[in-house]
């Protein structure tokens, strides 16, 4: 045997040994991860002791939670309490999805975000808060807008999805994607003092959102928290119940726990009462969950619903430039005779207003009796009228309505409303 052959064999043995070591290392890693998921550690036992001793939850329930993954869409009023209870209960993996940043109008209900995190993304703010409570929970930060281009890829890697969003296009998108991928969807909503909760697409007979609402509501019939208001404790009730239902789904409704599927829970915070109504069964011709689904891939959900999924840069363009004035132009006209109509709701008008403005809510303006009164009562038909609201959308609707009725009148919208007034004219004027 030549010296050359000996050194070649030595090299081969060294390479085989190195490969063998790698494989052993990988095997140990795999054994460790499996045993971590299959067993409770001493820390787990101490931390979760109060739920471990529940007879219908116990070690089996805790392990199930540890092995389950949950995607929370929306880290706002519902997503904050829902994720808080899921992370602290010991769920294995949580995906936090939201495109938005923390603002101070969030604090009264979005309980994971803090003053020091204003301007940060909601997902990173929530990550910090949740990790501080349970460092064992694996948390994925998904700082994106969920749309038909990314929904399937994101949702497929989670077991259970929680709809904590606040708009109709996202509700349809989540429903259709969860149906297509066979994922249960825990759906919650809260507005003013009312809340609703149900679990869609759970089990063989579970109904889906489209079984109940095959078509979206007209955009005008939809109000969100930014416009209609909401009490923080109400979102707390519904978000916490979403976490409870998600835990029951993870445990597959065993141990005497009945998942809220095919039933809708209605919460009335004003009287503090809960009502549960049965939902009729799955629609045979449902375009999402029937045997012949009809939802095209990459459906444009914003177009389908006629509404935006994101409240960023929402600016109506109803009027022509000559029918509008900027806040700077309006400021220069302040000393001259005119009427200033603020078309916000009375509760908003009470928060803050411009001097000499009169509160004429949009709803009143759109009422025929107002138009009649206006026709008869306005003495000076040449008096210019300026219309104003919070962000310059409702004021355009009001101005357009009046311009159509009284084309000869000088009626103009103040572009950008009170928000523009704050940013361009008076930083001391409050915004909300």
Ligand X SMILES: Nc1ncnc2c1ncn2[C@@H]1O[C@H](COP(=O)(O)OP(=O)(O)OP(=O)(O)O)[C@@H](O)[C@H]1O
Q: Which two tokens stand for residue 53?
A: 């001793």
Does the annotation list 106 as a binding residue? yes
Annotated catalytic residue: which of 80, 91, 225, 305? Answer: 225
Binding region for Zn ion (CB under 5 A) out of 133-141, 203-211, 378-386, 390-398:
203-211
298-302 CB contacts, 8 Å cutoff, 24+ apart = 298/148, 298/149, 299/148, 299/176, 300/148, 301/147, 301/148, 301/169, 301/170, 301/172, 301/173, 302/169
Q: CB nearest ligand X: which residue?
A: 76
309 is in the binding site of which of Zn ion, ligand X, none (Cβ under 5 to 8 A by kind)?
ligand X
Q: Does residue 175 touch ligand X according to CB under 6 A?
A: no
Q: Which of 211, 250, 307, 418 binds Zn ion (CB under 5 A)?
A: 211
Q: Cα dihedral sign for 11, 14, 20, 26?
A: negative
Cβ(191)–Cβ(326) below 8 Å: no
The verdict on whether 225 is a catalytic residue reads yes
Q: Does residue 388 touch Zn ion according to CB under 5 A?
A: no
Q: Does residue 390 touch ligand X according to CB under 6 A?
A: no
166 is in the binding site of which of ligand X, Zn ion, none (Cβ under 5 to 8 A by kind)?
ligand X
The verdict on whether 305 is a catalytic residue reads no
Q: Which of 61, 76, 195, 392 binds ligand X (CB under 6 A)?
A: 76
Tell me which residue has tokens 């009023």.
77
Does the annotation list 271 as a binding residue? no
CA atoms within 13 A on the CB side of 355: 5
Nearer to ligand X by C-beta: 77 or 184?
Answer: 77
Number of residues that bind ligand X (CB under 6 A): 23
231 is in the binding site of which of Zn ion, ligand X, none (Cβ under 5 to 8 A by kind)?
none
Number of residues that bind Zn ion (CB under 5 A): 6
What are the residues facing 264 on neighbouring strands? 277
Q: Which of 68, 170, 187, 198 binds ligand X (CB under 6 A)?
A: 170
Cα–Cα distance list, 105 to 102, 108, 164, 338 (Å): 8, 7, 18, 33
Q: Which two tokens stand for residue 336?
A: 């001259």
Cα–Cα distance list, 79 to 13, 76, 295, 419 (Å): 56, 5, 27, 27
CB atoms within 10 A of CB 134: 17
208 is in the binding site of which of ligand X, Zn ion, none (Cβ under 5 to 8 A by kind)?
Zn ion
Q: Does residue 100 touch ligand X according to CB under 6 A?
A: yes
Cβ(197)–Cβ(277) below 8 Å: no
CB atoms within 10 A of CB 67: 14
Cβ(188)–Cβ(99) below 8 Å: no
Does the annotation list 276 as a binding residue? no
Q: Does residue 289 touch Zn ion according to CB under 5 A?
A: yes
Nearer to Zn ion by C-beta: 173 or 403?
Answer: 173
Q: How do 138-142 and 93-97 pair as beta strands?
A: parallel
Cα–Cα distance list, 187 to 197, 240, 251, 409 (Å): 6, 12, 18, 48
Q: Which of 52, 75, 178, 399 binds ligand X (CB under 6 A)?
A: 75
Binding region for ligand X (CB under 6 A) out of 75-83, 153-161, 198-206, 290-298:
75-83
210 is in the binding site of which of ligand X, Zn ion, none (Cβ under 5 to 8 A by kind)?
Zn ion
Q: Does residue 199 touch ligand X according to CB under 6 A?
A: no
Nearer to Zn ion by C-beta: 118 or 212?
Answer: 212
Residue list, annotated binding site: 77, 98, 105-109, 122, 166-167, 208, 211, 286, 289
Residue list, annotated binding site for ATP: 77, 98, 105-109, 122, 166-167
**Which residues have a catalytic role annotated?**
225, 389
């Amino acid at each position: 045997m030549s010296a050359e052959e000996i050194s070649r064999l030595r090299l081969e043995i060294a390479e085989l040994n190195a490969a063998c070591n790698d494989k052993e290392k990988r095997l140990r890693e795999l054994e460790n991860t499996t045993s971590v998921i299959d067993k409770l550690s001493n820390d787990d036992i101490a931390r979760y002791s109060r739920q471990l001793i529940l007879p219908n939850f116990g070690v089996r329930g805790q392990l199930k939670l540890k092995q389950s993954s949950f995607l929370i869409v929306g880290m706002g009023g519902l997503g904050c309490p829902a994720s808080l209870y899921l992370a602290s209960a010991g769920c294995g993996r949580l995906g936090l999805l939201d495109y938005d940043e923390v603002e101070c109008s969030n604090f009264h209900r979005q309980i994971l975000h803090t003053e020091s995190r204003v301007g940060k993304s909601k997902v990173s703010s929530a990550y910090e808060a949740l990790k501080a409570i349970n460092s064992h929970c694996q948390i994925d930060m998904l700082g994106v807008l969920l749309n038909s281009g990314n929904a399937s890829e994101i949702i497929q890697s989670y077991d259970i999805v929680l709809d904590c969003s606040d708009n109709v296009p996202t509700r349809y998108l989540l429903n259709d994607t969860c149906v297509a991928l066979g994922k249960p969807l825990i759906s919650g909503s809260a507005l003013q003092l009312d809340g609703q909760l149900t679990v869609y697409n759970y089990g063989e007979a579970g109904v889906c959102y489209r079984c109940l609402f095959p078509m979206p509501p007209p955009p005008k019939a939809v109000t969100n928290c930014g416009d209609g208001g909401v009490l923080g404790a109400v979102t707390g009730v519904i978000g916490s119940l979403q976490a409870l239902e998600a835990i029951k789904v993870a445990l597959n409704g065993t141990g005497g726990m009945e998942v809220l599927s095919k039933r809708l829970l209605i919460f009335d915070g004003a009287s503090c009462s809960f009502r549960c109504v049965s939902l009729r069964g799955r629609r045979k011709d449902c375009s999402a969950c029937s045997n012949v689904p009809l939802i095209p891939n990459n459906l444009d959900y914003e177009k389908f619903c006629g509404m935006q999924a994101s409240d960023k840069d929402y600016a109506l363009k109803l009027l022509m430039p000559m029918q509008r004035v900027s806040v700077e132009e309006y400021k220069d006209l302040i000393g001259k005779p005119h009427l200033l109509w603020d078309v916000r709701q009375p509760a908003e008008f009470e928060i803050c207003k411009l001097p000499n403005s009169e509160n004429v809510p949009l709803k009143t303006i759109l009422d025929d009796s107002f138009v009649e009164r206006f026709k008869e009562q306005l003495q000076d038909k040449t008096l210019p009228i300026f219309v104003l609201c919070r962000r310059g959308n409702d004021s355009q609707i009001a101005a357009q309505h009046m311009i159509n009725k009284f084309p000869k009148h000088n009626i103009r919208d103040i572009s950008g409303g009170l928000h523009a007034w704050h940013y361009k004219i008076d930083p001391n004027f409050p915004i909300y």
